[in-house]
Amino acid sequence: MKPQIKPGLVVISRMGRDKDKRFVVLWEVDADFVMVADGHNRGISRPKRKRRKHLLATRYEFPEIIALKEQGRLTDYDLRNALGRLQDTPQDQA
């Protein structure tokens, strides 16, 4: 069964110039699109709109990122820090 792409989930881009890069899903736009950011090239001030079918879900999830976003306290540093913790792990897909 295919894992659902939802806010807080770490995903890997499968298409586009950002192919093979990791992002965190910030929110869902509709049934086809989500907004993602990584804190480097795509910060929270200008997240990237990506089609769900162009994303590969991983087994990593950051509910604390979504909690900070809901409180209005999410920063690019928080995203970089969360994704940086995964740098030593292989890019596992769910």
Q: Quick check: is 14 in a domain?
A: yes
Q: What is the pLDDT of residues 28-77, one digit of tens each?
A: 999 999 999 999 999 999 999 999 999 999 999 999 999 999 999 999 99
Q: Quick check: is 94 in a domain?
A: no
What is residue 93's predicted lDDT score, i.e. its pLDDT?
A: 58
Residue 6 exposure: Cα atoms within 13 Å on the Cβ side: 9
Question: With the C-alpha atoms ordered 21, 9, 76, 15, is the resulting torsion angle positive or negative?
Answer: positive
Other Cβ atoms within 10 Å of 92 Cβ, number: 11
Domain that holds residue 15: 9-84
Q: With 60 as the cut, is the pLDDT of residue 1 above it?
A: no
How many separate domains does the chain show?
1
CA distance 30 to 17: 23
pTM assigned to the model = 0.87
Q: Quick check: is 91 in a domain?
A: no
